[in-house]
Amino acid sequence: MTKLLRYLRSREWAVAVLALAFIVVQVWLDLKSPEYMAEITRLVQVEGSTMPEILTAGGKMLACSLGSLLAAVATAVCSSFIAAGFGGTMRAKMFHKVQSFSMEEIGRFSTPSLITRSTNDVMQVQMLIVLGLQMLIKAPITAAWAITKIAGKRWEWTAATGVAILVLLAVVGICLLIATPRFRRMQRLTDDLNRVSRENLSGLSVVRAYNAEAYQQDRFDVVNDTLTNNQLVAYRTMVFLMPTIQATMSGLSLAIYWIGAAVINSALMADKIALFSDMMVFSQYAIMVVMAFMMLVMIFMILPRAQVAASRINEVLDTEASIEDGALEQGKPGQTGEIEFRDVTFRYPDAEGSMLRHVSFSAHRGETVALIGSTGSGKSTVINLIPRFYDATWGEVLVDGVNVREYTTRALRNKIGYVSQRATLFGGTVSSNIAYGDNGRGPVTDSDVEAAVGAAQAAEFVEKMEGAYQAQIAQGGTNLSGGQRQRLSIARAIARKPEILIFDDSFSALDYKTDRVLRDALDRECADTTRIIVAQRIGTIRDADRIVVLEDGRVVGQGTHEELMRDCETYQQIALSQLSEEELA
């Protein structure tokens, strides 16, 4: 928790000091009040006291209460300011950190957990700051100050207060022992709840189509019930605290008055008034000591959860991205659009065996190199190594003659236009989706957008949309068909004017005709751009300059369509499963 305090900015520290000053003022005023109470008690019993004297003491007492109230409001305003600022900083830092993560770290934390950590966990820490500043600091100051006020009075009263504190400590200790582990577990259970809810909502159409509502409901109930039961046990335990504190406070007051009555009864007449006044003051201060403990208990109720939340936030912030930036901005002089895989072996983090083994191939400027192979043979894994979504475990991936690890990721990715297997669009307009990101060469112009949309065979449907290039795209592109989404994703990659275009099975959502026309357009418009195409259809790749055939993460053949039809059995099998011998001839 304290580690997180380093993220407080200087103006938040300044406000914290101000809050501390308000707290000290409030405690001082709270402790001053009983003194005026004692004064009034004395005045009403002493002969010759005048009404103005009593009213003056009463007025001072009221002023103390009002001042204390104002100081409490000021403290609350300060702590809210600090908590809001801290929350904003934390969320920004988490967002920035997660942006720097590679797929390995994202996979390790999991997306639902990263969402909970950036939202709910930050909120838990914020709550601790809001209450903590008001109570965690106030309680010990009040307790210590009040104890100095009652020290030296009758030992019987001090003993009664001591017993009350011991009772409280015992009950609080037992409750915290039971509740703390449950409070700690809550954040992890919230992750689970998030995961199941997210999976259900993102796969809603499949859930409905398969009548799987009951199954999903059961899965949800399991995580929901676990969280609910965990909360119930924790909160039920804490339920005992408040009544115990109340009873202890009442018991303490009773004990003080009881002891006081006995002492006053046996005292000399002259001492009775002083004793009565002492008793009044003592009971007020003793209650304040107990109240201070009560405030600490409230903090202890949220502290364990906030501590877990803080350590989960720290875990994210302290994680170094496994993809480290290199220093190079440029490849070797005279080399552009060159890709080479040199004996690359790759193992997914936490996987038992290697997924890719000894993969070697190259692509030169303006060439089209296709990757083909059965499902799960490692095609996407190969292309994910080019923009460094993962790093090769052994061997080297070179772009423009330089190992991809040596580039700054920004420079490397500026060379690449990547189209993922599942088209991803963002909420905004057609234009904002195409001109997306930074290619290191200034903004993508409207004419670039239109040219890219034209090349991607998307102009026809975009121009029919309301507002054309300014037409609204829903989050995830849900207001478009799969093929339309894919064409806009392709246009986005083309608009970057990259050295290398990577298509991860991006043509399979297109009909055969569009597939053909789009590839022709790419040959025309992107003649100097190296193209790496992952495809399932032989028709999509048969004209490629080189086809790399993958099987179980190994290259089992590479060459042109004709060469492979002659020499590569795996390729022949794939080809014959899709086209007749006449079509292939």
Ligand X SMILES: Nc1ncnc2c1ncn2[C@@H]1O[C@H](COP(=O)(O)OP(=O)(O)OP(=O)(O)O)[C@@H](O)[C@H]1O
Residues that bind ligand X in the complex, under the rule CB under 6 A: 107, 348, 351, 355, 373, 375-381, 421, 505
**With respect to ligand X, which residue has the nearer C-beta, 104 or 156?**
104
Shortest Cβ distance from residue 544 to ligand X (Å)?
17
Shortest Cβ distance from residue 356 to ligand X (Å)?
8
What number of CA atoms fall less than 13 Å from residue 298's CA on the CB side?
A: 20
**With respect to ligand X, which residue has the nearer C-beta, 499 or 505?**
505
Please report, as a single letter, which amino acid is at residue 80: S
108, 321 Cβ separation under 8 angstroms: no
501 in helix, strand or coil? strand
124, 116 Cβ separation under 8 angstroms: no
Q: What is the enclosing helix (H) or strand (E) of 559? A: strand 554-559
* Dihedral sign computed on CA atoms, order 552, 554, 559, 565: negative
**With respect to ligand X, which residue has the nearer C-beta, 266 or 375?**
375
Q: Which residues does residue 369 pair with via DSSP β-bridges, in sequence order?
A: 532, 546
Return d(Cα 127, Cα 137) in angstroms, integer: 15
Residue 345 sits at φ, ψ, to 5 deg, of -120, 140
The CA distances from residue 244 to 170, 291, 428, in Å, are: 11, 12, 57
Helices 241-266, 155-202: inter-axial angle, 10-degree rounding = 170
The strand order across the sheet containing 394-399 reads 356-363, 339-346, 394-399, 402-403
Shortest Cβ distance from residue 534 to ligand X (Å)?
6
**With respect to ligand X, which residue has the nearer C-beta, 408 or 573?**
573
**With respect to ligand X, which residue has the nearer C-beta, 377 or 414?**
377
**With respect to ligand X, which residue has the nearer C-beta, 304 or 378?**
378
**With respect to ligand X, which residue has the nearer C-beta, 389 or 461?**
389
Q: Which residues does residue 278 pair with via DSSP β-bridges, in sequence order?
A: none
Question: How many other CB atoms are found less than 10 A from the CB of residue 531?
Answer: 22
The CA distances from residue 2 to 58, 126, 166, 315, 564, in Å, are: 43, 13, 29, 14, 63
Residue that the structure tokens 């709910």 belong to: 120
Shortest Cβ distance from residue 537 to ligand X (Å)?
12
Shortest Cβ distance from residue 478 to ligand X (Å)?
22
Shortest Cβ distance from residue 518 to ligand X (Å)?
20
Shortest Cβ distance from residue 552 to ligand X (Å)?
9
**With respect to ligand X, which residue has the nearer C-beta, 289 or 359?**
359
Torsion angle in degrees (nearest 10) through CA of 135, 139, 142, 145: -140
Shortest Cβ distance from residue 389 to ligand X (Å)?
9
**With respect to ligand X, which residue has the nearer C-beta, 257 or 389?**
389
Return d(Cα 369, Cα 340) in angstroms, integer: 11
Return d(Cα 164, Cα 154) in angstroms, integer: 16
Residues 442-457, buried b or exposed e (16+ Cβ, 10 A)?
A: eebeeebbbbbbbbbb
CB neighbours of 540 closer than 8 A, spacing ≥ 6?
Answer: 370, 507, 515, 519, 533
DSSP-derived letter for residue 443 is P
Residues in the chain: 585
Q: Which of 347, 349, 378, 318 is nearest to 107 (CA)?
A: 349
Q: Which of 434, 438, 470, 460 is nearest to 514 (CA)?
A: 460
Shortest Cβ distance from residue 390 to ligand X (Å)?
8
DSSP-derived letter for residue 121 is I
Shortest Cβ distance from residue 304 to ligand X (Å)?
34
* Dihedral sign computed on CA atoms, order 230, 234, 237, 240: negative
Shortest Cβ distance from residue 400 to ligand X (Å)?
24
Shortest Cβ distance from residue 327 to ligand X (Å)?
28
Residue that the structure tokens 């990715």 belong to: 413
Shortest Cβ distance from residue 373 to ligand X (Å)?
6
Return d(Cα 235, Cα 239) in angstroms, integer: 6
**With respect to ligand X, which residue has the nearer C-beta, 88 or 376?**
376
**With respect to ligand X, which residue has the nearer C-beta, 42 or 347?**
347
**With respect to ligand X, which residue has the nearer C-beta, 357 or 497?**
357
**With respect to ligand X, which residue has the nearer C-beta, 37 or 501?**
501
136, 272 Cβ separation under 8 angstroms: no
**With respect to ligand X, which residue has the nearer C-beta, 145 or 390?**
390
Alpha-helix runs per DSSP H in 203-240: 204-209, 213-239
Residue that the structure tokens 């994202």 belong to: 106
Q: Which residues does residue 399 pair with via DSSP β-bridges, in sequence order?
A: 339, 402
Shortest Cβ distance from residue 380 to ligand X (Å)?
3
Shortest Cβ distance from residue 450 to ligand X (Å)?
32
**With respect to ligand X, which residue has the nearer C-beta, 86 or 418?**
418
